[in-house]
Amino acid sequence: MTFAETFLNSYIKRALGYKELADKTFAQLSDADFHYQPNEASNSIAVTMQHLAGNMLSRFTNFLTEDGEKEWRKRDEEFEDQQWSKDALLKRWNEGWDCYLNAVKQLTADDLLKTITIRSEGLTVIDALNRQLAHYPYHVGQIVYVGRMIKNNEWQSLSIPKGQSQQFNDQMQHKHS
């Protein structure tokens, strides 16, 4: 496997891991939970989902050939809660992720050093990808944190539950030996 193939496979694996964290959070929430806003200056999970989906659709539609900030994107509206249902939010969320992941899966080794633009700024494809793989987990962390605040003691851990690190390590050692 070439370096480019290894990089792209790793990139997709990491992106899917972040999506999974958000999806596991969504599964624990009611419709109303998506619209909970911790305070006036904070975004609800719904608003964060709207923003991420809008960003993904803008950045990765015609990724190699058009500026990543599309004229049709209404970024400011992404930060206004549209009061969509859980199903509507998940539909939009998945549209964004499908656009993003499909664009990345189509990239070749030769594409990685090409220059694309975002808001007229030239970036290599590698730099643009790294930029997004920093941006999306930043917001996924917000989603998980707000979800955990909402669920409080009913929260189901997304990774290793408190007090179970040694048990998890033992399982991993057994699995990989």
Instruction: Encode pLDDT of 107-121 as tens digits.
Output: 999 999 999 999 999
Q: What is the DSSP letter of 71?
A: T
Report the C-alpha gap between 18 and 31 in whole angstroms: 22
Contact (Cβ atoms closer than 8 angstroms) between residue 118 and residue 68: yes
- pLDDT, tens digit, 9 for 90 and up, residues 154-171: 999 998 888 889 988 988
Q: Is residue 127 classed as helix, strand or coil in its secondary structure?
A: helix
- pLDDT, tens digit, 9 for 90 and up, residues 71-94: 999 999 999 999 999 999 999 999
Domain 3-175 falls in which CATH fold? Four Helix Bundle (Hemerythrin (Met), subunit A) (1.20.120)
Nearest partner of 101 among 17, 16, 2, judged by Cα = 16
Domain extents in the chain: 3-175
Contact (Cβ atoms closer than 8 angstroms) between residue 64 and residue 27: no
Q: Which of 138-148 are b and which e, b meaning 16 or more Cβ less than 10 Å from the residue's Cβ?
A: ebbebbbebbb
Which pTM value belongs to this model? 0.93
